[in-house]
């Protein structure tokens, strides 16, 4: 039976949720506002910026004229999508093994994988940089795809492991009894049932890889630089580039925001997969 | 003309074109995002057209660039063929053998290396070898509002004032109720931020970073006097929240008419005096940064320059670009295409004597004189074992400078006393210098 909620509670909940939502979106909203101002207006006091200055798209034009947005965008797409799908190819069998044929050390392995996320990335920067230098992977999309795949691998495996654990092992057993091979079992039985979970894992990892700024800035120069490097090129401690920096930021986050907007249903469904079962 | 002849001539022409571009190379330049480099990026296609070579630009924020280039050059990564570096890095990296020597630029009569100010060349050299060529150089001087000085009945100093006199001026000019602060100075922590100003202030008060035996001197009475003065000046006559203000924030405040005085980089003068960008373009003038116990090291010295890492495999092409981008012709090209007020200052004598520059930017002479009043080799009242005015040209300085900057910023914010800040700084500096082997 549905729990009755008073109108007062509804209004209060809506107000609290609305306020929290506004606070969360405010930085992006402010960046959007600054991107539509001239450099001189962008540095004024907040109220003046809002009510006492004009609006212009000049910064977007200037950014596009000075930098090759599409080259950076293309690099971001390849690196984030590539690292996610490469990661999935390894993570799905790994998560299957841990969820359905766990060994004595499965939990330790899972914890060990998670522990790699606890190491500050700068701690391994120099060794990785030297390996990349010697293997010719510096400033290459392949190198960056590999690094981001490895960095996000623990999260992919953990998420998939959690989803797979929710799927009854008996269904897989039934498939096996019907003569399904291991490959068929994973591809045609397990994967279709875990689609919401896999989809949300894919989306979350694309977002993480898209926004990753430490490795993408340190391992690239001109050829493989993604949109994070594009944003960084408009930051300056000497000279005013707030409007252009804001325009570059909006251009960099717009694709991932749009992707998130259209797939939010899928993302929420996947993230609450276990809870609603 | 027969068809055969036309074909022959076309093929010869095509062959020559191919030959001239056969050696065409692609070079990668790592740089910061500032107005002078934006202009260079806009003009660089002319060099590309001239030579057939192409340039990949990697533009990064200054601190990210410093970290990224240091990492690449120290590991012999070879990601960049040209790096935009400062007067701090050039001698240190040169000494380490990380940069290609540019001594042969002196043999090129057209380039005229001697035309670049000796002081600037010295700042970019180590052990007599030139490791970078400058795009622009700067010192610090005082920006002041002529209208507010007149209103407050203060005569603009004709001689270098003292910091005591400077505080008296700030007191008279301070009018926060009408949105005017007596002075705006850097408060944001960092060796390139607050410590640039604080370093010159400390020099003026007779302080030094190290004595002749590399013993840190941050616990000295001179440092105490300087930081006490700084905290008092900023607390009484500075804008609120000054610990968040670096160069950019103060530049924005000054341009918006909120500051009566500002001691900062001469390179900001063009922007402040440009009516299209600034509300105070017509009512701003300049005088020397103040002195106190001494007039040595009262204005800083900095130069942004182009260098070639030793790891570059395209050093010849990189040298060709460097010569083009720092030649007399390049500066003239900037003047003719972007206006003479946009010409980078403080590098070439012939450009500073050009009547077109003097007409468009009458303050160029003041900047030149200010730069010439600085001597990085003799920056303090008492003798020191280092060079550098607002920095000490040793690799350990970045860490020490940043730490001291944080301590000074915390003192300004009222989180600790000046004495505590300097005691912490002294302890940290002793530890770092001992670790690095300077103190036995």
- Same domain assignment for residues A27 and A115: no
Q: Mean per-residue pLDDT for B54-62?
A: 89
pLDDT band at A233 (very low <50, low <70, confident <90, very high): confident
The predicted-structure confidence for B74-99, as pLDDT tens digits, reads as follows: 888 899 999 999 999 999 999 999 99
Grade residue B13 by pLDDT with cuts at 50, 70 and 90: low
**pLDDT category of residue B16 using cuts at 50, 70 and 90:** very low
Using a CB-CB distance cutoff of 8 angstroms, which residues of chain A are in contact with residue B79?
Answer: 138-139, 221
- Tell whether the model's pLDDT for residue B220 goes beyond 90: yes
Say if residue B341's pLDDT is above 90.
Answer: no
Q: What is the pLDDT of residue B256?
A: 87
Same domain, A84 and A40: no
Judge: B68–A223 Cβ closer than 8 Å, yes or no. no
pLDDT computed for residue B199 by the predictor: 97
CB contact under 8 A, B75 and A222: no
User: Cβ–Cβ of B248/A240 closer than 8 Å?
Assistant: yes
Q: Which residue of A has its CA nearest to B252?
A: A43
| Nearest CA-CA partner of B31 in A195, A234, A119, A18 | A234
pLDDT of residue B238: 96
Q: Which residue has the higher pLDDT, B59 or B408?
A: B408
Most distant pair of Cα atoms in chain B: their distance = 92
The pLDDT assigned to A48 comes to 78
Rounded average pLDDT over B52-58: 94
Instruction: Mark which residues 342-361 of B lie under 8 Å from A by CB.
Output: none
What is the rounded average pLDDT of the residues B299-308? 94
In a domain, A276, yes or no: no
Only one residue has tokens 């009475």, namely B221
Coil, strand or helix at A252:
helix
Q: Does B76 touch chain A (CB under 8 A)?
A: yes
The answer to whether A148 and A215 have CB atoms below 8 angstroms apart is: yes
Residues in chain A whose beta carbon is closer than 8 A to a beta carbon of chain B?
A: 39-40, 43-44, 66-67, 125-126, 129-130, 133, 138-139, 217-218, 221-223, 225, 229, 232-241
Chain A positions in Cβ-Cβ contact with residue B62 (cut-off 8 Å)? 236-238
pLDDT at B119 over 50: yes
| Closest approach of B99 to chain A, Cα-based (Å) | 19
A91 with A19, same domain? no
Measure Cα distances from B208 to B225, B227, B380, B392, B418 in Å. Answer: 12, 13, 6, 10, 17
CB pairs under 8 A between A and B: 89
Tell me which residues of chain B, numbers 259 to 278, contact chain A at a CB-CB cutoff of 8 Å.
265, 267-268, 271, 277
pLDDT of residue A237: 63
Chain B CB contacts of A225 below 8 Å: 58
Residue B321 and residue B326: Cα distance in Å, rounded?
Answer: 9
CA–CA separation, A236 and B67 (whole Å): 15
3-state secondary structure chain B: CCHHHHHHHHHHHHHHHHHHHHCCCEEEEEEECCHHHHHHHHHHHHHHHHHCCEEEEEEECHHHHHHHHHHHHHCCCCCCCEEEEECCHHHHHHHCCCECCCHHHHHCCCCCHHHECHHHHHHCEECCEECCEEEEEECEEEEEEHHHHHHCCCCCCCCCCEHHHHHHHHHHHCEHHHCEECCECCCCCCCCCHHHHHHHHHHHCCCCCECCCCCECCCCHHHHHHHHHHHHHHHHHCCCCHHHCCHHHHHHHHHCCCECEEEEEHHHHHHHCCCCCCCCHHHEEEEECCECCCCCCCCCCEEEEEECECCCCCHHHHHHHHHHHCCHHHHHHHHHHHCHHHCCCCCEHHHHCCHHHHHHCCCHHHHHHHHHCCCCCCCCCCCCCCCCCCCCCCCCHHHHHHHHHHHHHHHHCCCCCHHHHHHHHHHHHHHHHHHCCCCC
CA distance A206 to chain B (A): 24
Q: In this predicted structure, what is the pLDDT of residue A277? A: 44
Gap between the terminal Cα atoms of chain B: 86
pLDDT above 70 coverage of chain B, percent: 95
CATH 3.30.70.600 fits B140-300+387-435, yes or no: no
Q: Which domain holds residue A49?
A: 7-60
- Compare all CA atoms of chain B with the CA of A215 and give the residue at the minimum distance: B68
Average pLDDT over residues B354-369: 87
Separation in Å, CA of A124 to nearest CA in chain B: 13
**Which residue of A lies nearest to B272 if distances are taken between CA atoms?**
A239
Give the CATH number of the domain where residue A124 resides: 1.10.3720.10
pLDDT of the residue at B12 = 52
CB neighbours of B398 closer than 8 A, spacing ≥ 6? B191
Per domain, the residue ranges of chain B are: 25-138+301-361, 140-300+387-435
The reply to whether B50 touches chain A by the CB within 8 Å rule is: no
Nearest CA of chain B to the CA of A43: how many Å?
6
CATH of region B25-138+301-361: 3.40.190.10
Of the candidates B228, B273, B212, the residue with the CA atom closest to the CA atom of residue B411? B228
- 3-class DSSP state for residue A108? helix
In a domain, A1, yes or no: no
Tell whether the model's pLDDT for residue A69 goes beyond 60: yes
| Closest residue on chain B to A139 (Cα) | B79
Q: Residue A152: is its pLDDT beyond 80?
A: yes
Separation CA B142–CA B154 (nearest Å): 15
| Gap between the Cα atoms of B88 and B389, Å rounded | 10
pLDDT tens digits for range A201-212: 999 999 999 999
Decide if pLDDT at B355 tops 50.
yes
State how far Cα A13 lies from the chain centre. 29
Across B129-146, average pLDDT: 95
State how far residue A203 is from chain B, nearest Cα, in angstroms.
Answer: 29
Supply A239's token pair: 């000279």
The fraction of chain B above a pLDDT of 90, given in percent, is 71
B33 touches chain A (CB under 8 A): yes
User: What local confidence, expressed as pLDDT, does residue B6 receive?
Assistant: 55
Residue A162 lies in a domain: yes
Across residues B200-223, what is the average pLDDT?
Answer: 97
Query: In whole angstroms, what separates CA B130 from the centre of its chain?
Result: 18
Q: With an 8 Å Cβ cutoff, are B60 and A233 in contact?
A: yes
Q: Which residue has the higher pLDDT, A236 or B14?
A: A236
Inter-chain residue contact A221 with B58, CB threshold 8 Å: yes
pLDDT digits (tens, 9 = 90+) for B326-335: 999 999 999 9
Residue that is written with structure tokens 């600054």 in the block: A34
Looking at every residue in chain B, the average pLDDT score rounds to 91
**Domain identity same for A127 and A223:** yes
Query: Do β-strands B133-138 and B302-307 pair in parallel, antiparallel, or remain unpaired?
Result: antiparallel
pLDDT confidence of residue A44: 73
Same topology, domains B25-138+301-361 and B140-300+387-435? Answer is: yes
Q: Which of B26, B35, B60 to mutate to test the interface with A (most CBs of A within 10 A)?
A: B60
What integer pLDDT is reported at residue A1 of this predicted model?
53
Chain A residues touching residue B266 (CB < 8 angstroms): none
* C-alpha span between B310 and A157 (Å, rounded): 43
The closest CB to that of B61, out of A138, A223, A232, belongs to: A232
Q: Do A237 and B78 touch (CB under 8 A)?
A: no
Closest CA to B226 of B397, B373, B389, B421: B421
C-alpha distances in angstroms, B199 versus A117, B182, B223, B237? 40, 21, 10, 20
Question: Could you tell me if B201 and B230 are in contact, meaning their C-beta atoms sit under 8 angstroms apart?
Answer: yes
Q: Is the pLDDT of residue A275 over 50?
A: no
Closest residue of A to B277, CA-based? A40
Q: What is the pLDDT of residues B379-388, one digit of tens each?
A: 999 999 998 9
Could you tell me if A15 and A125 lie in one domain? no
Total domains in chain A come to 2
Q: Which residue has the higher pLDDT, B100 or B369?
A: B100
Query: If pLDDT is split at 50, 70 and 90, which confidence band does A238 have?
Result: low
Q: Is the Cβ pair A138, B79 closer than 8 Å?
A: yes
What is the average pLDDT value for chain A, to the nearest integer? 88
Cα–Cα distance for residue pair A75/A82, rounded to 1 Å:
10
Q: Which residue of A has its CA nearest to B76?
A: A133
B246 neighbourhood in chain A, CB within 8 Å:
237
Same structural domain for residues A134 and A165?
Answer: yes
Using the 3D structure, point to which of A30, A45, A60 is the last residue of a domain: A60
Does some domain include residue A172? yes
The residue among A233, A252, A272 that closes a domain is: A233
Examine the pLDDT at B155 and tell me if it is beyond 90: yes
Select from A68, A232, A221 the least CA-distant residue to A137: A221
Within a domain: residue A2?
A: no
- On whether both A28 and A117 belong to a single domain, the answer is no
Regarding predicted confidence, which is higher, A259 or A238?
A: A259
pLDDT at B24: 85
B206, B413 in Cβ contact below 8 A?
A: no
In a domain, A260, yes or no: no
- Which chain A residue has its CA at the smallest distance from B66's CA? A218
The H or E element that residue A33 is part of is helix A7-35
- CB-based contact A233 B35, cutoff 8 Å: no
- Determine the distance from the C-alpha atom of residue B395 to the mean position of all C-alpha atoms in its chain, rounded to a whole number: 18
B142 to chain A nearest CA, in Å?
17
Using a CB-CB cut-off of 8 Å, the residues of chain A touching B57 are: 222
Query: pLDDT category, B19, cuts 50, 70, 90?
Result: very low
* Whether residue A25 sits in one domain with residue A159: no
């Amino acid at each position: 039976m549905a729990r009755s909620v008073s109108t007062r509670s509804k209004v209060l909940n809506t107000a609290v949720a609305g306020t929290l939502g506004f606070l969360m979106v405010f930085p992006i909203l402010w960046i959007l506002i600054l991107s539509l101002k001239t450099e001189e207006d962008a540095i004024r006091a907040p109220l003046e910026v809002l009510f006492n200055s004009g609006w212009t798209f000049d910064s977007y034009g200037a950014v596009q004229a000075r930098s090759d947005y599409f080259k950076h965008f293309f690099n971001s797409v390849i690196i984030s999508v590539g690292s996610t799908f490469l990661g999935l190819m390894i993570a799905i069998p790994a998560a299957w093994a841990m969820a359905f044929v766990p060994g004595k050390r499965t939990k330790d392995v899972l914890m060990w994988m998670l522990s790699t996320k606890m190491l500050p990335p700068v701690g391994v920067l120099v060794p990785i940089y030297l390996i990349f230098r010697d293997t010719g992977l510096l400033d290459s999309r392949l190198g960056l795809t590999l690094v981001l795949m490895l960095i996000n691998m623990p999260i992919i495996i953990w998420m998939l492991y959690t989803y797979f654990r929710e799927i009854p092992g008996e269904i897989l057993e039934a498939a096996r009894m019907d003569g399904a091979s291991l490959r068929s079992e994973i591809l045609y039985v397990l994967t279709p049932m875990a689609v919401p979970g896999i989809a949300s894992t894919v989306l979350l990892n694309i977002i993480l890889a898209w926004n990753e700024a430490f490795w993408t800035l340190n391992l690239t120069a001109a050829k493989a630089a993604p949109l994070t490097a594009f944003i960084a090129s408009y930051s300056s401690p000497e000279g005013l580039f707030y409007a252009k920096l804001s325009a570059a930021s909006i251009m960099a986050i717009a694709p991932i925001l749009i992707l998130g907007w259209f797939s939010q249903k899928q993302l929420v469904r996947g993230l609450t997969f276990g809870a609603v079962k | 003309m027969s068809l055969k002849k036309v074909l022959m001539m076309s093929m010869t022409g095509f062959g020559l074109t191919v030959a001239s571009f056969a050696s065409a190379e692609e070079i990668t330049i790592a740089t910061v995002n500032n107005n002078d480099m934006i202009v260079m990026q806009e003009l660089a296609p002319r060099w590309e057209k001239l030579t057939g070579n192409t340039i990949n630009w990697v533009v990064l924020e200054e601190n990210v660039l410093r970290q990224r280039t240091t990492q690449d050059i120290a590991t012999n990564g070879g990601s960049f063929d040209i790096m935009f570096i400062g007067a701090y890095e050039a001698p240190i990296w040169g000494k380490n053998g990380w940069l290609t020597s540019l001594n042969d630029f002196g043999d090129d009569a057209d380039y005229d290396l001697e035309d670049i100010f000796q002081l600037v060349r010295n700042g970019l050299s180590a052990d007599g070898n030139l490791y970078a060529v400058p795009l622009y150089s700067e010192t610090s001087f005082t920006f002041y509002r002529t209208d507010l000085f007149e209103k407050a009945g203060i005569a603009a100093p004709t001689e270098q004032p003292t910091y005591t006199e400077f505080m008296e001026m700030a007191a008279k000019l301070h009018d926060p109720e009408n949105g005017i602060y007596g002075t705006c100075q850097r408060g944001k922590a960092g060796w390139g931020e607050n410590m640039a100003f604080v370093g010159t202030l400390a020099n003026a008060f007779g302080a030094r970073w190290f004595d002749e035996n590399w013993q840190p001197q941050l616990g000295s009475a001179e440092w105490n006097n300087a930081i006490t003065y700084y905290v008092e000046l900023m607390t009484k006559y500075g804008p609120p929240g000054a610990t968040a203000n670096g160069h950019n924030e103060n530049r924005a405040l000054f341009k918006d008419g909120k500051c009566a005085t500002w001691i900062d980089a001469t390179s900001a003068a063009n922007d402040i005096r440009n009516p299209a960008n600034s509300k105070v373009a017509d009512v701003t003038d300049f005088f020397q940064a103040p002195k106190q116990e001494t007039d040595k090291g009262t204005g800083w010295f900095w130069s942004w320059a182009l260098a070639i890492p030793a790891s570059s495999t395209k050093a010849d092409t990189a040298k060709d670009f460097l010569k083009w981008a720092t030649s007399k012709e390049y500066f003239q090209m900037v003047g003719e295409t972007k206006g003479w007020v946009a010409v980078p200052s403080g590098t070439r004598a012939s450009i500073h004597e050009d009547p077109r520059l003097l007409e468009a930017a009458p303050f160029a002479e003041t900047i030149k004189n200010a730069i010439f009043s600085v001597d990085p080799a003799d920056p303090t009242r008492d003798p020191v074992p280092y060079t550098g005015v607002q920095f000490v040209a040793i690799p350990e300085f970045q860490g020490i400078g940043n730490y001291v900057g944080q301590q000074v910023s915390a003192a300004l914010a009222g989180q600790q006393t000046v004495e505590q800040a300097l005691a912490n700084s002294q302890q940290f500096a002793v530890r770092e210098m001992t670790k690095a082997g300077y103190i036995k």
